């Protein structure tokens, strides 16, 4: 889902709302409560990236120390998830190699 700004809300409040929605979306993906277009890991990472982007836009409003703390939290969570993503990619690669090997041996 793309960011949607509300006319009756100041920019900072809009971006905080967007950031919160992206975090909620990431949590729903992790819990399996939301249907994924791609893998849940990929969808979760996209939500976290959008949350970090919204956070970046309100960095002046919330102050540098608070921004850095929140941004580092998102970064650390994304790093944890990247390990799962890497394992997912490795598994997919092994499956593809198995399929290629199977097809080759049948010829």
Residue by residue, pLDDT tens for the chain (107 residues) are: 567 778 888 877 888 888 889 889 888 888 888 777 778 888 888 889 999 998 898 888 889 999 999 999 999 988 988 888 888 889 999 999 999 999 999 87
Does 4 map to a domain? no
Q: What is the pLDDT of residues 6-18, one digit of tens each?
A: 888 887 788 888 8
Q: How many domains does the chain have?
A: 1
Does 30 map to a domain? yes
Quote the pTM value.
0.70
pLDDT at 41: 85
Question: By the 8 A CB rule, do 20 and 54 touch?
Answer: no
Does 5 map to a domain? no
Does 97 map to a domain? yes
Beta-carbon contacts of 51 under 8 Å, excluding residues fewer than 6 positions away, are 19, 22, 23, 26, 74
DSSP 8: T
* Residue range of the domain that includes 24: 11-106
Does 99 map to a domain? yes
Q: What is the pLDDT of residues 28-41, one digit of tens each?
A: 888 888 777 778 88
Does 76 map to a domain? yes
């Amino acid at each position: 889902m793309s960011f949607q700004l509300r006319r009756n809300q100041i920019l900072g409040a809009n971006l905080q709302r967007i950031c919160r929605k992206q975090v909620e979306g990431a949590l729903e993906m992790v819990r399996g409560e939301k249907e994924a277009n791609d893998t849940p890991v990929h969808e979760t990472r996209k939500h976290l990236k959008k949350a970090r982007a919204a956070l970046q836009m309100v960095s002046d409003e919330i102050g540098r120390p608070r921004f850095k703390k929140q941004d580092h939290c998102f970064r650390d969570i994304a790093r944890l998830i990247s390990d799962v993503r890497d394992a997912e990619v490795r598994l997919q690669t092994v499956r593809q190699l198995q399929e290629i090997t199977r097809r080759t041996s049948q010829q």
